[in-house]
């Protein structure tokens, strides 16, 4: 199942080369996708964050490939111009054969343009296999929600020099393995800048500072819908809208803030 073809991977890469900021938001259904399209978001991510904000779990670990296909299909039905990226969920790429097969399902049945995998190291072989099969890949470094138990919680990553150096090396390895883009999550702003300068593919930050090539937020955080304490790196754009303004206007404000460098501000980053 494939919907309309949106922005190409090559076009997003050229945005980095031209110094144009890339806007990314999560979506999990057709209605929200229409708001993102109307506001001019370039990349839509069907994130396994749906396990928390939609399904009500306390992590992303219970999300299945079938869950991701279902939600990706909903987004693909409404997507018109954005590049459509989908997360490969926990334990869906533990072997090369499994990674290849599940990536193919997410594209064929879900309608995705690109799949996203977390980490480097052993994941590099899976990335190579997926790319060799003709499917673009987005990497993910820093805080890895699927490895939250190993990381000991939701903590800023890469603060120590050795950890920072390894992350830069991992970023280069992701590019060499064939990744076309990468998300950098919850790392010091200076490290986000360092990695963005070390690779030629776009970096998309979430709590990684203003010098990444683009930014991503969980849509529910942007709309102030997430219960409890909001992550430091997020901002409630809908809550700042004048009376009578709605979701599309809030998303458009996010797009403008990213494009003009107003978001993320220093208070949304880490040292």
Calpha distance 107→113 (Å, rounded)? 6
Interior angle at CA 248, CA 243 and CA 254, nearest 5: 95
* Residue 185 falls in the annotated catalytic set: yes
Calpha distance 99→126 (Å, rounded)? 6
At residue 264, what are phi and psi to the nearest 5 degrees?
A: -80, 145
Is residue 249 exposed (0-12), middle (13-18) or buried (19+ Cβ within 10 Å)?
Answer: middle
Write down the catalytic residue from 176, 185, 249, 267: 185
Is 37 within 8 Å of 103 (Cβ atoms)?
no
| Alpha-helical runs (H) found in the chain | 9-17, 30-39, 50-53, 65-78, 96-108, 123-132, 148-151, 161-177, 189-198, 219-222, 247-260
Spatial neighbors of 32 by CB under 8 A, at least 6 apart, are: 219, 247
- List residues with catalytic annotation: 185
């Amino acid at each position: 199942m494939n919907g309309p073809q949106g922005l190409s991977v090559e076009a997003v890469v050229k945005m980095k080369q031209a110094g144009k900021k890339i806007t990314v938001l999560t979506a999990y259904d057709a209605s929200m996708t229409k708001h993102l399209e109307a506001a001019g978001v370039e990349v839509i991510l069907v994130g396994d964050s749906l396990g928390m904000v939609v399904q009500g779990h306390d992590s992303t670990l219970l999300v299945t490939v079938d869950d991701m296909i279902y939600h990706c299909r909903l987004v693909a039905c409404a997507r018109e111009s954005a590049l459509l990226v989908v997360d490969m969920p926990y334990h869906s790429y533990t072997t090369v054969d499994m990674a290849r097969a599940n990536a193919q399902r997410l594209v064929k049945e879900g309608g995705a343009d690109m799949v996203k995998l977390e980490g480097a190291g052993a994941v590099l072989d899976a990335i190579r296999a997926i790319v060799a099969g003709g499917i673009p890949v987005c990497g993910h470094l820093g805080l890895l929600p699927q490895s939250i138990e190993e990381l000991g919680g939701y903590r800023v990553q890469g603060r120590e020099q050795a950890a920072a150096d390894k992350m830069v090396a991992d970023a280069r390895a992701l590019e060499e393995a064939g990744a076309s883009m990468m998300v950098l999550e919850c790392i010091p702003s200076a490290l986000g800048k360092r990695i963005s300068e070390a690779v030629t593919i776009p970096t998309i930050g979430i709590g990684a500072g203003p010098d990444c090539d683009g930014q991503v937020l969980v849509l529910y955080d942007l709309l102030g819908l997430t219960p409890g304490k909001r992550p430091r790196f997020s901002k409630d754009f809908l809550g700042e809208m004048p009376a009578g303004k709605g979701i599309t206007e809030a998303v458009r404000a996010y797009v403008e803030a990213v494009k003009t460098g107003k978001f993320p501000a220093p208070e949304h980053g880490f040292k």
